[in-house]
Structure 1
Amino acid sequence: MQIKKDTVVSLSYILKQDDANGAVIEIAKDSDPLVFLYGAGQMIPRFEEYLTNLSDGENFEFTLASEDAYGEYEEEAIIDLDKQIFSVDGVIDEEMLAIGNMIPMRDNQGHMLQGKVVSVTDESVKMDFNHPMAGKVLHFSGQIIQVREASSEELSHGHVHGDGGHQH
Protein backbone atom coordinates (compact mmCIF):
# COMPACT_ATOMS: atom_id res chain seq x y z
CA MET A 1 0.00 0.00 0.00
CA GLN A 2 1.21 3.50 -0.81
CA ILE A 3 1.29 6.44 1.58
CA LYS A 4 -1.65 8.75 0.96
CA LYS A 5 -4.18 10.73 2.98
CA ASP A 6 -5.83 8.74 5.77
CA THR A 7 -3.17 6.03 5.96
CA VAL A 8 -1.22 5.11 9.08
CA VAL A 9 2.52 5.24 8.47
CA SER A 10 5.21 3.53 10.54
CA LEU A 11 8.79 4.47 9.74
CA SER A 12 12.30 4.45 11.11
CA TYR A 13 14.67 7.33 10.48
CA ILE A 14 17.84 9.15 11.40
CA LEU A 15 17.52 12.93 11.62
CA LYS A 16 20.74 14.89 11.17
CA GLN A 17 21.48 18.59 11.12
CA ASP A 18 22.34 20.14 7.75
CA ASP A 19 23.09 17.05 5.61
CA ALA A 20 23.94 13.33 5.61
CA ASN A 21 27.23 14.09 7.40
CA GLY A 22 25.70 16.35 10.06
CA ALA A 23 25.30 15.81 13.77
CA VAL A 24 22.61 13.28 14.73
CA ILE A 25 19.58 15.01 16.28
CA GLU A 26 17.18 12.10 16.67
CA ILE A 27 16.76 8.42 15.79
CA ALA A 28 13.55 6.38 15.47
CA LYS A 29 14.51 2.69 15.31
CA ASP A 30 12.58 -0.19 13.72
CA SER A 31 11.82 -1.41 17.25
CA ASP A 32 10.31 1.96 18.24
CA PRO A 33 9.20 3.62 14.99
CA LEU A 34 7.48 6.92 14.37
CA VAL A 35 3.79 6.12 13.77
CA PHE A 36 1.41 8.79 12.51
CA LEU A 37 -1.82 9.43 10.63
CA TYR A 38 -0.81 10.84 7.26
CA GLY A 39 -2.62 14.05 6.32
CA ALA A 40 -3.94 14.75 9.84
CA GLY A 41 -1.73 17.80 10.38
CA GLN A 42 0.51 16.11 12.96
CA MET A 43 3.67 16.26 10.89
CA ILE A 44 5.60 18.97 9.07
CA PRO A 45 3.73 19.32 5.74
CA ARG A 46 6.90 19.19 3.61
CA PHE A 47 8.01 16.04 5.50
CA GLU A 48 4.74 14.35 4.48
CA GLU A 49 5.12 15.53 0.86
CA TYR A 50 8.44 13.70 0.56
CA LEU A 51 6.83 10.47 1.81
CA THR A 52 3.80 10.61 -0.52
CA ASN A 53 3.32 7.41 -2.56
CA LEU A 54 6.12 5.47 -0.82
CA SER A 55 5.34 1.87 0.22
CA ASP A 56 6.40 -0.72 2.82
CA GLY A 57 10.14 -1.34 2.73
CA GLU A 58 11.03 1.71 0.63
CA ASN A 59 13.93 3.89 1.71
CA PHE A 60 13.84 7.68 1.74
CA GLU A 61 16.33 10.49 2.09
CA PHE A 62 15.64 14.21 1.88
CA THR A 63 16.62 17.55 3.34
CA LEU A 64 14.24 20.22 4.63
CA ALA A 65 15.29 23.87 4.64
CA SER A 66 14.52 25.58 7.94
CA GLU A 67 11.61 27.49 6.40
CA ASP A 68 10.07 24.15 5.33
CA ALA A 69 10.60 22.64 8.80
CA TYR A 70 10.26 24.66 12.02
CA GLY A 71 10.87 28.10 10.54
CA GLU A 72 13.66 30.58 10.96
CA TYR A 73 15.02 31.44 14.39
CA GLU A 74 13.29 34.66 15.46
CA GLU A 75 14.86 37.06 17.96
CA GLU A 76 11.33 38.43 18.63
CA ALA A 77 10.45 35.06 20.19
CA ILE A 78 12.85 35.76 23.06
CA ILE A 79 10.85 37.61 25.70
CA ASP A 80 11.46 39.01 29.18
CA LEU A 81 8.60 38.05 31.50
CA ASP A 82 7.84 39.36 34.96
CA LYS A 83 9.11 36.74 37.40
CA GLN A 84 5.89 37.01 39.42
CA ILE A 85 3.86 35.27 36.68
CA PHE A 86 5.64 32.07 37.78
CA SER A 87 4.34 32.49 41.33
CA VAL A 88 1.95 29.88 42.73
CA ASP A 89 0.29 30.92 45.99
CA GLY A 90 2.93 33.64 46.37
CA VAL A 91 5.87 31.25 46.00
CA ILE A 92 8.19 30.96 42.99
CA ASP A 93 9.67 27.51 42.33
CA GLU A 94 13.28 28.48 41.58
CA GLU A 95 14.11 24.93 40.41
CA MET A 96 11.49 25.27 37.68
CA LEU A 97 13.30 28.40 36.48
CA ALA A 98 16.65 26.63 35.96
CA ILE A 99 18.48 27.76 32.82
CA GLY A 100 17.59 25.45 29.91
CA ASN A 101 14.33 24.19 31.45
CA MET A 102 11.37 23.92 29.08
CA ILE A 103 8.19 25.34 30.62
CA PRO A 104 4.71 24.89 29.11
CA MET A 105 2.88 28.21 28.87
CA ARG A 106 -0.09 29.83 27.12
CA ASP A 107 -0.12 32.93 24.95
CA ASN A 108 -2.79 35.67 25.05
CA GLN A 109 -5.07 33.58 22.81
CA GLY A 110 -4.75 30.48 25.01
CA HIS A 111 -2.44 28.56 22.63
CA MET A 112 0.02 26.20 24.30
CA LEU A 113 3.69 27.12 23.87
CA GLN A 114 6.95 25.65 25.12
CA GLY A 115 9.41 28.21 26.40
CA LYS A 116 13.04 27.63 27.30
CA VAL A 117 14.47 29.51 30.28
CA VAL A 118 17.41 31.57 28.98
CA SER A 119 18.23 33.72 32.01
CA VAL A 120 16.76 34.71 35.37
CA THR A 121 17.13 37.89 37.42
CA ASP A 122 15.45 38.97 40.65
CA GLU A 123 12.74 40.69 38.57
CA SER A 124 12.38 38.78 35.30
CA VAL A 125 12.75 35.53 33.40
CA LYS A 126 14.00 35.59 29.81
CA MET A 127 12.24 32.88 27.78
CA ASP A 128 12.93 31.64 24.26
CA PHE A 129 9.75 30.52 22.49
CA ASN A 130 11.46 29.41 19.28
CA HIS A 131 11.07 25.72 18.48
CA PRO A 132 14.31 23.92 19.48
CA MET A 133 14.89 23.09 15.80
CA ALA A 134 14.04 26.57 14.45
CA GLY A 135 16.64 27.84 12.02
CA LYS A 136 18.02 24.35 11.39
CA VAL A 137 18.28 22.49 8.10
CA LEU A 138 17.02 18.93 8.73
CA HIS A 139 18.24 15.85 6.87
CA PHE A 140 16.09 12.71 7.13
CA SER A 141 17.06 9.22 5.99
CA GLY A 142 15.08 6.12 6.78
CA GLN A 143 12.72 3.38 5.73
CA ILE A 144 8.97 2.90 5.56
CA ILE A 145 8.13 -0.03 7.84
CA GLN A 146 4.39 -0.27 7.26
CA VAL A 147 1.53 1.58 5.58
CA ARG A 148 -2.08 0.67 6.35
CA GLU A 149 -5.54 2.17 6.03
CA ALA A 150 -6.58 4.16 9.08
CA SER A 151 -9.58 2.83 10.99
CA SER A 152 -12.76 4.91 11.15
CA GLU A 153 -12.05 5.50 14.85
CA GLU A 154 -8.53 6.77 14.08
CA LEU A 155 -9.92 9.09 11.42
CA SER A 156 -12.62 10.48 13.71
CA HIS A 157 -10.10 11.01 16.54
CA GLY A 158 -7.39 12.38 14.23
CA HIS A 159 -4.62 10.14 15.57
CA VAL A 160 -3.30 6.56 15.52
CA HIS A 161 -4.52 3.95 18.02
CA GLY A 162 -2.71 0.77 19.05
CA ASP A 163 1.02 0.00 18.76
CA GLY A 164 3.01 3.20 18.46
CA GLY A 165 -0.11 5.34 18.69
CA HIS A 166 -2.45 6.78 21.28
CA GLN A 167 -4.11 4.44 23.79
CA HIS A 168 -7.57 5.16 25.23
Structure 2
Amino acid sequence: MQVAKNSVITIDYHVTDTDGEVVDEGREPIVYLHGGYDDIFPKIEEALQGKAVGESVQVKLQPDEAFGDYDASLVQIEPRKDFPKELQVGMQFEGGPEDGGEDDFVIYRVTDIADDKVVLDGNHPLAGMALIFTCTVTAVRAASAEEVEHGHVHHPDDEDACH
Protein backbone atom coordinates (compact mmCIF):
# COMPACT_ATOMS: atom_id res chain seq x y z
CA MET A 1 0.00 0.00 0.00
CA GLN A 2 1.22 3.49 -0.83
CA VAL A 3 0.87 6.74 1.07
CA ALA A 4 -2.37 8.32 -0.16
CA LYS A 5 -5.20 10.56 1.04
CA ASN A 6 -7.12 9.08 3.98
CA SER A 7 -4.41 6.65 4.96
CA VAL A 8 -2.75 6.39 8.36
CA ILE A 9 1.01 6.70 8.04
CA THR A 10 3.68 5.73 10.55
CA ILE A 11 7.15 7.19 10.07
CA ASP A 12 10.44 6.96 11.90
CA TYR A 13 12.16 10.33 11.71
CA HIS A 14 14.81 12.68 12.95
CA VAL A 15 15.28 16.42 12.51
CA THR A 16 18.51 18.39 12.21
CA ASP A 17 19.30 22.02 11.69
CA THR A 18 21.12 23.07 8.51
CA ASP A 19 24.49 22.51 10.23
CA GLY A 20 23.60 18.86 10.88
CA GLU A 21 22.99 19.31 14.62
CA VAL A 22 20.17 17.04 15.84
CA VAL A 23 17.20 19.03 17.17
CA ASP A 24 14.77 16.08 17.46
CA GLU A 25 16.04 12.53 17.45
CA GLY A 26 12.55 11.13 16.92
CA ARG A 27 12.45 8.69 19.81
CA GLU A 28 8.79 7.89 19.10
CA PRO A 29 7.44 7.36 15.59
CA ILE A 30 4.95 9.84 14.16
CA VAL A 31 1.53 8.42 13.27
CA TYR A 32 -0.68 10.76 11.28
CA LEU A 33 -3.71 10.93 8.98
CA HIS A 34 -2.47 11.74 5.47
CA GLY A 35 -4.41 14.00 3.14
CA GLY A 36 -4.48 17.63 4.23
CA TYR A 37 -5.60 17.23 7.86
CA ASP A 38 -2.77 19.40 9.20
CA ASP A 39 -1.35 16.50 11.22
CA ILE A 40 2.14 17.09 9.77
CA PHE A 41 3.80 19.96 7.91
CA PRO A 42 2.37 20.18 4.37
CA LYS A 43 5.77 20.03 2.64
CA ILE A 44 6.54 16.72 4.40
CA GLU A 45 3.11 15.34 3.54
CA GLU A 46 3.66 16.30 -0.09
CA ALA A 47 7.05 14.52 -0.15
CA LEU A 48 5.54 11.34 1.35
CA GLN A 49 2.65 11.16 -1.15
CA GLY A 50 2.92 7.89 -3.13
CA LYS A 51 5.73 6.41 -1.02
CA ALA A 52 5.60 2.81 0.22
CA VAL A 53 6.79 1.12 3.42
CA GLY A 54 10.58 1.23 3.56
CA GLU A 55 10.94 4.36 1.43
CA SER A 56 12.61 7.46 2.87
CA VAL A 57 12.44 11.17 2.17
CA GLN A 58 14.47 14.15 3.27
CA VAL A 59 12.78 17.56 3.29
CA LYS A 60 14.33 20.94 4.00
CA LEU A 61 11.83 23.20 5.74
CA GLN A 62 12.26 26.95 5.84
CA PRO A 63 11.02 28.63 9.06
CA ASP A 64 7.69 29.62 7.45
CA GLU A 65 7.15 25.95 6.44
CA ALA A 66 7.84 24.66 9.96
CA PHE A 67 7.54 26.52 13.27
CA GLY A 68 7.37 30.05 11.86
CA ASP A 69 9.66 33.03 11.98
CA TYR A 70 10.96 34.23 15.32
CA ASP A 71 8.63 36.93 16.69
CA ALA A 72 10.39 39.29 19.10
CA SER A 73 7.01 40.61 20.27
CA LEU A 74 6.42 37.23 21.96
CA VAL A 75 9.29 37.88 24.40
CA GLN A 76 8.18 39.46 27.67
CA ILE A 77 9.92 40.54 30.84
CA GLU A 78 7.81 40.11 33.95
CA PRO A 79 8.35 40.78 37.66
CA ARG A 80 9.82 37.80 39.54
CA LYS A 81 7.23 38.24 42.31
CA ASP A 82 4.47 37.14 39.88
CA PHE A 83 5.87 33.58 39.68
CA PRO A 84 6.07 30.58 42.00
CA LYS A 85 9.01 30.40 44.40
CA GLU A 86 10.33 27.28 42.64
CA LEU A 87 11.12 28.69 39.20
CA GLN A 88 13.60 27.32 36.67
CA VAL A 89 14.67 28.13 33.13
CA GLY A 90 12.65 25.88 30.81
CA MET A 91 9.44 25.93 32.85
CA GLN A 92 6.32 26.76 30.86
CA PHE A 93 3.32 28.95 31.59
CA GLU A 94 0.17 29.68 29.63
CA GLY A 95 -0.62 33.32 29.02
CA GLY A 96 -2.08 35.81 26.64
CA PRO A 97 -3.30 39.34 26.20
CA GLU A 98 -5.80 40.57 28.77
CA ASP A 99 -8.25 41.54 26.04
CA GLY A 100 -7.61 38.42 23.96
CA GLY A 101 -9.94 35.53 23.38
CA GLU A 102 -9.42 31.89 24.24
CA ASP A 103 -7.51 31.30 20.98
CA ASP A 104 -4.97 34.01 21.85
CA PHE A 105 -3.32 32.02 24.64
CA VAL A 106 0.34 31.22 24.16
CA ILE A 107 2.69 28.83 25.95
CA TYR A 108 5.59 30.88 27.32
CA ARG A 109 8.92 29.31 28.26
CA VAL A 110 11.11 30.81 30.97
CA THR A 111 14.37 31.62 29.19
CA ASP A 112 16.14 33.67 31.87
CA ILE A 113 15.78 34.58 35.54
CA ALA A 114 17.72 37.59 36.82
CA ASP A 115 17.28 39.21 40.20
CA ASP A 116 13.71 40.54 40.18
CA LYS A 117 12.87 39.84 36.51
CA VAL A 118 11.81 36.77 34.49
CA VAL A 119 12.19 36.56 30.71
CA LEU A 120 9.40 34.64 28.95
CA ASP A 121 9.46 33.57 25.31
CA GLY A 122 6.23 32.58 23.51
CA ASN A 123 8.02 31.42 20.36
CA HIS A 124 8.32 27.72 19.62
CA PRO A 125 11.89 26.66 20.54
CA LEU A 126 12.53 25.92 16.83
CA ALA A 127 10.99 29.16 15.49
CA GLY A 128 13.18 30.94 13.01
CA MET A 129 15.18 27.83 12.14
CA ALA A 130 15.47 26.06 8.82
CA LEU A 131 15.18 22.31 9.50
CA ILE A 132 16.00 19.12 7.68
CA PHE A 133 13.37 16.45 8.30
CA THR A 134 14.42 12.90 7.37
CA CYS A 135 11.94 10.04 7.65
CA THR A 136 11.21 6.47 6.60
CA VAL A 137 7.70 5.10 6.10
CA THR A 138 7.27 2.12 8.44
CA ALA A 139 3.53 1.45 8.06
CA VAL A 140 0.60 2.46 5.88
CA ARG A 141 -3.03 1.48 6.45
CA ALA A 142 -6.40 2.72 5.31
CA ALA A 143 -7.99 5.14 7.76
CA SER A 144 -11.31 4.19 9.31
CA ALA A 145 -14.41 6.19 8.38
CA GLU A 146 -14.45 7.60 11.90
CA GLU A 147 -10.80 8.75 11.64
CA VAL A 148 -11.55 10.50 8.34
CA GLU A 149 -14.68 12.09 9.81
CA HIS A 150 -12.78 13.32 12.90
CA GLY A 151 -9.71 14.35 10.87
CA HIS A 152 -7.15 12.51 12.99
CA VAL A 153 -5.82 9.06 13.89
CA HIS A 154 -7.51 7.07 16.64
CA HIS A 155 -5.15 5.00 18.71
CA PRO A 156 -6.54 1.70 20.01
CA ASP A 157 -5.30 2.41 23.56
CA ASP A 158 -6.85 5.89 23.58
CA GLU A 159 -10.57 5.14 23.34
CA ASP A 160 -11.75 8.35 24.99
CA ALA A 161 -9.73 10.72 22.80
CA CYS A 162 -12.77 12.07 20.93
CA HIS A 163 -15.45 11.72 23.55
The TM tier, using the shorter chain, reads 0.7 to 0.9
What whole-Å deviation, never above 9, does each CA across 1:109-152 have from its counterpart, x for those lacking one? Answer: 21242211133467654310111110111112221011111111
Whether 1:140 and 2:136 are equivalent positions in the alignment is no
Whether 1:79 and 2:76 are equivalent positions in the alignment is yes
Q: Which amino acid aligns with 2:84?
A: D
Find the counterpart in structure 2 of residue 102 from structure 1. Answer: 92
Find the counterpart in structure 2 of residue 62 from structure 1. Answer: 59
Q: Quick one: distance in 1 between partners of 2:88 and 2:26?
A: 29
CA contact 2:43–2:59 (8 Å) conserved in 1: no
Contiguous gaps of at least 5 residues in structure 2: none
**Structure-1-length-normalised TM-score:** 0.78
Q: Which amino acid aligns with 2:57?
A: F
Q: Quick one: distance in 1 between partners of 2:23 and 2:120?
A: 22
* Cα distance, 1:80 vs structure 2: 2.9
Helix, strand or coil at the partner of 1:155: helix
The RMSD of aligned alpha carbons is 2.5
Identity of aligned residues (%): 30
Q: Quick one: distance in 2 between partners of 1:37 and 1:149?
A: 9
When structure 1 is superposed on structure 2, of 47-56 and 131-140 the one drifting more is 47-56
- Relative to structure 1, the CA distance from residue 106 to residue 9 in structure 2 (aligned partners, 3 Å threshold; closer, same or farther) is farther
Contiguous gaps of at least 5 residues in structure 1: 87-91
Count of residues in correspondence between the two structures:
156
CA contact 1:6–1:40 (8 Å) conserved in 2: no
Q: Quick one: distance in 2 between partners of 1:167 and 1:82?
A: 43
CA contact 1:100–1:116 (8 Å) conserved in 2: yes
- Relative to structure 1, the CA distance from residue 16 to residue 122 in structure 2 (aligned partners, 3 Å threshold; closer, same or farther) is closer
- Relative to structure 1, the CA distance from residue 2 to residue 105 in structure 2 (aligned partners, 3 Å threshold; closer, same or farther) is farther
Q: Quick one: distance in 1 between partners of 2:57 and 2:50?
A: 11
**Structure-2-length-normalised TM-score:** 0.80
Q: Which amino acid aligns with 1:18?
A: T
Find the counterpart in structure 2 of residue 47 from structure 1. Answer: 44
Q: Quick one: distance in 1 between partners of 2:22 and 2:41?
A: 19
* Cα distance, 1:157 vs structure 2: 2.7
Whether 1:17 and 2:7 are equivalent positions in the alignment is no
Find the counterpart in structure 2 of residue 89 from structure 1. Answer: none
Q: Which amino acid aligns with 2:93?
A: I
Q: Quick one: distance in 2 between partners of 1:122 and 1:25?
A: 31
- Relative to structure 1, the CA distance from residue 28 to residue 121 in structure 2 (aligned partners, 3 Å threshold; closer, same or farther) is closer
